[in-house]
Amino acid sequence: MRKLIVANYKMNGDKKLFKQIVKKINKIKLRDTKVVLCPPFIYLNEFKIKNNIVSIGSQDITNDENSKSTGQISAKMLLEHDVKYVIVGHSERRKIGENDKLINQKINVCLNNFLMPIICVGEEKKTDKLDIVLSQIKNALDSINKNFVPIIAYEPVWSIGTGKLPSINRIDKMIDMIKSFLKTIGYNESLVLYGGSVGLDNYKEIIKSKIDGLLLGGVSLRIDKFIKILKGIDNE
């Protein structure tokens, strides 16, 4: 099954680094893997992609199309930079005040402008009580068209950047639970990605789980390691 690998560069990198990344990513050949690169807004113009298996994503989007919204980035602006995907609801955005209602509005903005949202969900602490994840999904997709295929990025917050990973059994349990829940609310097809402390040393184990792809952070900045991961996944 084709995997979707998303690179979230967060507030990292510079023009020199991203030029190197684009140069190498344009040369990569993959048979069965789709790649999405999400740079900081200010560097979108550096991502001149000539590789049809690679798309550009944004790390965020405004929920407000009012042109008086100082500091916001609109869907129209993203489309002018050939953006196809948008990360929505990342835990780091939630920590600074984004709530489910705002995330739902951003998803609507994405779909109204033919952008594909990558919807981030995940529990703060390691626990067996995972209803919070389903609640995040339910609220994010409230009144959202049932004809699109949701992309859910499951990122347990306690795993992001800590080196601590859920077991494969736990990841599989989450994938099954999320997909089953999506079906109960009317989405028969979905993609569920995993994110959180994935690196060159552990991606092979994780990719054998039921996930449809990965949301990668720090390792995506190390282009040689990132390409090794992409090729390794493509050869599975």
Residues tagged active-site: 90, 155
Type of residue numbered 199:
G
Run of H or E including 214: strand 213-216
* Residues contacting 146, CB < 8 A, separation 6+: 186, 187
Of residues 24, 56, 40, the one with CA closest to residue 225:
24
Of residues 158, 153, 168, 160, the one with CA closest to residue 203:
168
CA 232, distance to chain mean position in Å, is 20
Type of residue numbered 49:
I
